[in-house]
Amino acid sequence: MLSFTRGFPLVVALAMSSFSIYIQLKYFKHIGNDTLDRDRYHNSVIEAVVDARSHDCSAYDFVFIVATGRSGSTTLMTFLNSIPGVHISGENDGQTKRLRWIYESMRNIGQGRRRIVAWANTYDMSEIKQDMRTMLIHMINPPAGSDTIGFKEIRFHSKDLDFIKMLFPCAKFILSIRENVSKQAKSAFHKKSEYNSTTVKATLKKENAILSSLARKHPDSMYLVKLEDFSVQEFDNMLQFLGRRECKTLRVPKLNMKGEYTRIERLKKNLSSGVVKCKSNATKSSS
């Protein structure tokens, strides 16, 4: 009896450890796998969440630039930030993905476990969603006077687009691709990849197909821009899509053209002559 008593805590500890491993494998296995592996970038249909402006939309309009690496996303961000009231922040190293992991984990834990003492909880997922909206807005850090905010990102899985659409159902997305994937794959950015040039090109082609398909399926919320089509007319079309009919493109800014990163000083010089002109007394129209 004495040996059983001494051994019982060890048995319990082993059982608890096994159960913990089981839960981690079942509910958190995606954390190890759902990384920036573009070969597994898949096409998911983004559900229409609610009627625009009726629910879960804040005082801001939201615009997100989703792009493949070296497809002109910095130029697009710079152009949009030249519009009064618009603040599109830079990349956040895939923080949206990490928020999605947390959301999915909490949702899974809350399903079918509230009658189990060890897992019992009563948190409200609608409150979690609101907190995550607030956190993303804090990450964007819009200055006073902003009416349209968002960020650009190249570290995206299609599940992340679903997640953003769920948090901000009124959001619009600018999808940026580059048709010349051979030249794109040779850029300094992609040369750092662990994959060879053939694999990178195949992955970029797959991403292009996915983003093009999403734009066709969701023309009201997603606009596809190809680097090869960058022009005053194309940017005017993008302004129309965003409801900025009071603005006209003066020229297309040229940033990162040689594959390098743009310093703040060069950015200011590039924008000194203006890239977009908006009527100051006009109100932004809804599209």
Q: What is the pLDDT of residues 186-234, one digit of tens each?
A: 876 666 676 778 888 998 999 999 999 999 999 999 999 999 999 999 9
Domains and CATH numbers, the chain: 61-278 (3.40.50)
What are the tens digits of pLDDT across the range 245-260? 999 999 988 765 554 4
Query: How far are the Cα atoms of 26, 34, 166, 168, 184 from residue 162, in angstroms, in the given order?
Result: 22, 15, 6, 10, 27
Q: How confident is the model at residue 25 (pLDDT cuts 50, 70, 90)?
A: very low
Question: Residues 141-150: what's their mean pLDDT?
Answer: 95
- CB neighbours of 28 closer than 8 A, spacing ≥ 6? 105
What are the tens digits of pLDDT across the range 161-180? 999 999 999 999 999 999 98
What number of residues does the chain have?
Answer: 287
pLDDT of residue 184: 84
Stronger pLDDT, 249 or 109, i.e. the higher one: 249
Q: Which residues pair with 173 in a beta bridge?
A: 64, 222
Question: Residues 109-119: what's their mean pLDDT?
Answer: 65
Q: What is the pTM of this model?
A: 0.73
